[in-house]
A and B are shown apart, each in its own frame.
Chain A
Amino acid sequence: MAEIVLDKVSKRYPDGALAVSDVDITIADGEFIILVGPSGCGKSTTLNMIAGLEDITGGELRIDGQRVNERAPKDRDIAMVFQSYALYPHMSVRENMAFPLRLAHVDKETINRKVEEAARILDLGQHLDRKPGNLSGGQRQRVAMGRAIVRDPKAFLMDEPLSNLDAKLRVQMRTSVAKLQRKLGTTTVYVTHDQTEAMTLGDRVVVMRGGLVQQIGSPQALYEQPVNLFVAGFIGSPSMNFLPATLADGQLRTPLGAVPLTDRIRRLAEAAKAPREVIVGLRPEHFEDAALLDEAELGAGATFTATVEVMESMGSDKFAYFLVEGETATSAELDELAAESGSAEMTDGGAQIVTRLSAASSIKEGDEAEVWFDPDKLHLFDPSDGRTLTHSD
């Protein structure tokens, strides 16, 4: 077990591409930390530098206080699980898991005991003598995990270990990875591009974009207090709605109508020297069907009326999609997020708003509906640089 410190770590590939720049992360002993971000943002590069598979071109990597930049992977005592699992096809499951122990010249008896134990934990007992080629995806994944845990390394590194599994198995394995990590208490760095995985797994999440760390925090902190547009849009599913807005006369003029500023929001915006033109962000879950609320509740919020374009019932709640006329919010971050999620196709003549309504709502597709939202829950962003204007800390 170990504390891993990345101190201004950078990576410039020989072709000149700066893949990771000045990453500062202190990973506590036993912590489960997630690196998340769109593909190409430098997650794997960062992980490979911790592993020793890629040279560090700037900054320092310390494990338990010792500089390890120059150490070969085998001298760092770190295990890694690859996206492709990278199982040795010519070795049986048992030999695969025993490989690191045999290289470390552990005696036969201990190897057997450890492999059997790992197989028991991962429920691979009856497959020990099969070749990886004859196993299912989920079983292969568990063998890869087994090979990592047999030798009690200082830390685990996992690069999208679940992304080759189908959706159902992925959710199942997610829980077992989390349980396994808690049980072993080994420092773990986990890379994923899936924000749901990041939110559900980690003690802390590092959001990256273009080789830069955007924000580090607990899943709750990232959700409630995103530092910029990118984090706000990346974390949460369905993602936050963004609309252009103007701050004037203690009000916020938005395509949804004028929204009163609460004291909290006003104070934060003033402290952040908010410009006149801003982007307002509203999470889908902060909307509600106005018909379900009483007078007092309605009075404490703002409402707007719009036509329901699409209605998706999830049973537990309903997603209603509205088309709001007027401008759409634009910024570099939003363009990148749209490209990432594949929703780049523009809704012409307005912005789409996704709302999550209570299952009790009787709104139907095509209805003109009145929707309520809580103005104290909104976020304001500076369109020029994407920073959050309502960030408090």
Chain B
Amino acid sequence: MAVLGGTERAAKVRWSLINIVVLVYALVPVLWIVSLSFKTKETLTDKNFIPREWTLQNYADIFTTNQFLRALLNSVGIAVIATLIAVVLGTMAAYAIARLDFPGKRLLVGVSLLIAMFPQVSLVTPLFEMERSLGLFDTWPGLILPYITFALPLAIYTLSAFFREIPWELEKAAKMDGATPAQAFRRVIAPLAAPGVFTTAILVFIFCWNDFLFAISLTSTTSSRTVPAALSFFQGSSQFEDPTGTVSAAAVVITVPIILFVLFFQRRIVAGLTSGAVKG
């Protein structure tokens, strides 16, 4: 017993150490940015982890420049619209994949997998050319469209895992109770799929929110530049001023909501990501 307890404690200690190493490795850069965002211009480069002089000036600065607010509006607008459309389309596609046997079903699943795996970098130049000739370059739709394209496979995958877990007999029961297919979907299937749809929406939103590649390549002005791209255009008030403080503050502003969101809905997201795997 004592021996067993001893090895158990040793294992615990070992795991705790590993956890701490991983946490530190992952969190230090994030905390560093947080720390930078609270530092004054003079102490920015003092290499202290904890700011010696705390200031909110960087936050005040970004919220008084049009540049950041406009980018924030673009980010929210583009991510929300892309998420809505991707989730609606994904729901319909996933429902069909989970429930119906139609010719080309495997092909559809395969192609959507292919899209998810396609290196996005290789598409940037063609997309740039296409959007320029279509007049979509540097517009909201110019970002929303590629986001939908690359978010859909993710949406379809998570959602079809959820749909597969809703017993088909419920739908049959609804039909027997006198429901049209549309009523059965709206009153029985949709309420049950809601947690899955919600999880998918969060995942898709994060994907759109965090994107840098398309945001930097397919925009040229503040009219559609999202925050991740706008950050790289931040400048100090003079050529000699270092914008690190404001960039850090902006990074914190767009990251913290996501972190809180994920922490808050962690269980749901994990359930959503693994539900297909666990229950076949």
Contacts and interface: CB of A to CB of B under 8 A. Distances in A.
B170 A51 contact: no
Contacts of A100: 177-178
A78 interface: yes
Interface string A85-101: 01111100000000110
B192 A80 contact: no
B167 interface: yes
17 contacts: A51-B176, A72-B175, A74-B175, A74-B176, A74-B177, A74-B178, A78-B176, A80-B172, A82-B173, A86-B167, A86-B172, A88-B173, A99-B174, A99-B177, A103-B179, A104-B178, A151-B178
Nearest to A51: B176
B188 interface: yes
A94 to B, nearest CB: 14
Contacts of B187: 99
Interface in A54-85: 72-74, 78-80, 82, 84
The 9 closest A-B pairs by CB, nearest first: A86-B173, A100-B177, A86-B169, A103-B178, A74-B178, A80-B176, A73-B175, A90-B191, A82-B169
A300 interface: no
A53 B172 contact: yes
B53 to A, nearest CB: 55
A283 interface: no
A89 B192 contact: yes
A137 B105 CA distance: 37
Contact of B169 (A72, A73, A78, A84): A84
Given A74-B175, A74-B178, A87-B173, 20 more contacts: A51-B176, A52-B175, A73-B176, A73-B178, A74-B177, A78-B176, A79-B176, A79-B177, A82-B169, A82-B172, A82-B173, A88-B174, A89-B192, A90-B192, A99-B174, A100-B178, A103-B177, A103-B183, A104-B178, A147-B173
Contacts of B170: 86, 88
Nearest to B176: A80
B172 A147 contact: no
Sorting the interface of chain A by its residue count into under 10, 10 to 19, 20 to 34 or 35 or more gives 20 to 34
B221 interface: no
Interface in A89-147: 89-90, 99-100, 103-104, 147
Nearest to B188: A88
A79 B179 CA distance: 12
A61 to B, nearest CB: 15
Interface string A149-192: 00100000000000000000000000000000000000000000
A151 B179 CA distance: 14
A199 B177 CA distance: 29
B191 A147 contact: no
Interface string B197-226: 000000000000000000000000000000
Nearest to B171: A86
B7 interface: no
Contacts of A103: 177-179, 183
B274 interface: no
Contacts of B180: 72, 74
Contacts of B172: 53, 80, 82, 86
A106 B101 CA distance: 35
The residue in A73, A74, A151 that gathers the most chain B C-beta atoms within 10 A of its C-beta is A74
Nearest to A150: B177
A90 B178 CA distance: 18
A98 B173 CA distance: 13
A51 B172 CA distance: 10
Contact of A74 (B179, B188, B192): B179
A147 B170 CA distance: 13
Contacts of B176: 51, 53, 73-74, 78-80
Contacts of B169: 82, 84, 86
Nearest to B177: A100
Interface string A236-252: 00000000000000000
The residue in A14, A51, A73 that gathers the most chain B C-beta atoms within 10 A of its C-beta is A73
Given A74-B180, A86-B167, A86-B170, A53 B175 contact: yes
Nearest to A78: B176
Contacts of A151: 178
B185 to A, nearest CB: 13
A84 B167 contact: yes
Nearest to B191: A90
Given A84-B169, A86-B167, A90-B192, A147 B177 contact: yes
Nearest to A80: B176
A385 B167 CA distance: 42
The residue in A14, A78, A89, A104 that gathers the most chain B C-beta atoms within 10 A of its C-beta is A89
A227 B174 CA distance: 40
Contacts of A84: 167, 169
Contacts of B178: 73-74, 100, 103-104, 151
Contacts of A87: 173
A99 B170 CA distance: 12
A79 B101 CA distance: 26
A52 B180 CA distance: 13
A150 B97 CA distance: 34
A88 B180 CA distance: 16
Interface string B98-118: 000100000000000000000
